[in-house]
Amino acid sequence: MSQFIHIVVNFSEGRRKELIEEIIAPIKGVEGVKLIDFYPDPDFNRTIVEVIGHPVPMKASVFNMAKQIFKHIDMEKQTGTHPRIGALDTLSIYPLANFSLEETISLAEDIGQELHDMFKVPIYFSGENARNEERKNLAFLRKGQYEGLKEVIHTAERLPDIGTELHPTAGATIVNGAASGLVAVNVILNTKDINIARDIARVMRGPSGGFSTIRAVAFYLEDQDYVAVSMNMFDTDATPIYRAFKVIEFEAARYGLSIVGTQIVGTLPQEALINCAEYFLKLVDFNRDQIIENHLIDI
């Protein structure tokens, strides 16, 4: 049966539209590869790219994209509000169909080694490929960002897993394999008070006493003219979206507020939405085979 994987790339450019198009061009129109979408953010000055496809052409396309990233992005000049340590900041690989987690981990190792061999960029492994518990956390690997990493890269705590020297313009790259990717969810509140959203975000995120699988911040949505609690959900099986939604709803009620709506940023597994449907609709004896599209992969 055909194998499919999901790759998410985060590179440190979100403002120059022509350059972004040039960077993603190598993954367009490639047989066996589908560009899901790309999400530039000028404030963060980063772009997230989501691609699915067969492992062999996917790997070749990603390397061609990396070549453009390393050619055009100079970390000595790059600025932005999103934490980063390199031009190709993160490359994450997830199994999608007929591809095991073990194969995913092995592929991540191969890609990390080849990125270093081809471009001389140091590699940090995270996720299931992390060499220790601390390195599973992107915040730990990005501590001090690119500028700070230059000062500590030779220490035992921050030495790369592959390579020893920071690339003079490309910085470093984080590569990881995992069973599934994060789900980005914005829960919009009917207020412009950012401080309320910050208080609720603090309730939600793991380090401040909330869900261990959630990181949350507050921000103002210009197009909605409301604030939102923005969550990166790292395990929607352990912590379903509906559970996070209900806690935010409960906390918002303390301030006399309600939820206006929910945005899903990027892609997510269908199971994450099925869990919500089971909860809110109180589904009984629901079978995933009842979703007709689930039969297509077997044809």
100 within a domain of the structure (yes/no): yes
298 within a domain of the structure (yes/no): no
Instruction: Count CB-CB contacts under 10 A for residue 239.
Output: 21
Q: At what angle do helices 55-72 and 101-119 cross, to 10 degrees?
A: 40
Task: Quote the pLDDT of residue 36.
Answer: 93
What average pLDDT does this structure show over 202-227? 91
**Chain segment 27-39, per-residue pLDDT in tens:** 998 999 999 999 9
More confident residue, 222 or 40: 40
Do residue 216 and residue 241 come from a single domain? yes
Phi, psi of 18 (to 5 degrees): -65, -40
Contact between 45 and 14 (Cβ < 8 Å): yes
**Chain segment 69-103, per-residue pLDDT in tens:** 999 999 999 998 888 999 999 999 999 989 999 99
49 within a domain of the structure (yes/no): yes
56 within a domain of the structure (yes/no): yes
Do residue 247 and residue 142 come from a single domain? no
Do residue 231 and residue 211 come from a single domain? yes
pLDDT above 70 (res 41): yes
Domain of 241, CATH number, reads: 3.30.70.670
The pair of structure tokens assigned to 187 is 């829960």
For 179, counting Cβ atoms within 10 Å of its Cβ (0-12 exposed, 13-18 middle, 19+ buried), the class is middle
The pair of structure tokens assigned to 155 is 């220490």
Range of the domain at 131: 4-177
Residues in the chain, how many? 299
What gap in Å lies between CA 9 and CA 16, rounded to an integer? 17
| Domain closes at, from 177, 202, 233 | 177
What gap in Å lies between CA 207 and CA 186, rounded to an integer? 19
Domain total for the chain?
2
Do residue 142 and residue 279 come from a single domain? no
Q: Are strands 4-11 and 46-53 parallel, antiparallel or unpaired?
A: antiparallel
Residues annotated as catalytic are 82
For 293, counting Cβ atoms within 10 Å of its Cβ (0-12 exposed, 13-18 middle, 19+ buried), the class is exposed
DSSP state of 86: B
Q: Quote the pTM value.
A: 0.83
96 within a domain of the structure (yes/no): yes
Do residue 56 and residue 188 come from a single domain? no
Do residue 103 and residue 29 come from a single domain? yes
Contact between 122 and 115 (Cβ < 8 Å): no
Do residue 11 and residue 118 come from a single domain? yes
Do residue 160 and residue 225 come from a single domain? no
Task: Quote the pLDDT of residue 273.
Answer: 95
Domain of 14, CATH number, reads: 3.30.990.10
245 within a domain of the structure (yes/no): yes
168 within a domain of the structure (yes/no): yes
Do residue 187 and residue 169 come from a single domain? no
The per-residue DSSP string of 175-194 comes to EEE-SS--EEEEEEES---H
**Chain segment 236-259, per-residue pLDDT in tens:** 999 999 999 999 999 999 999 999
Task: Quote the pLDDT of residue 43.
Answer: 81
295 within a domain of the structure (yes/no): no
**pLDDT-derived band of residue 196, with 50, 70 and 90 as boundaries?**
very high
pLDDT above 80 (res 298): no
What gap in Å lies between CA 70 and CA 82, rounded to an integer? 19
The per-residue DSSP string of 93-117 comes to EEEEES--HHHHHHHHHHHHHHHHH
> Comparing C-alpha atoms, which of 43, 61, 44, 47 is closest to residue 19?
47
Task: Quote the pLDDT of residue 44.
Answer: 86
Do residue 31 and residue 75 come from a single domain? yes
Do residue 167 and residue 40 come from a single domain? yes
Give the C-alpha distances (Å, rounded to integers) separating 221 from 107, 170, 199.
Answer: 38, 32, 17
Do residue 104 and residue 231 come from a single domain? no
| Domain closes at, from 141, 159, 177 | 177
**Chain segment 136-160, per-residue pLDDT in tens:** 988 899 999 999 999 999 999 999 9
The pair of structure tokens assigned to 48 is 């997230």
DSSP state of 83: -
| Domain closes at, from 155, 177, 199 | 177
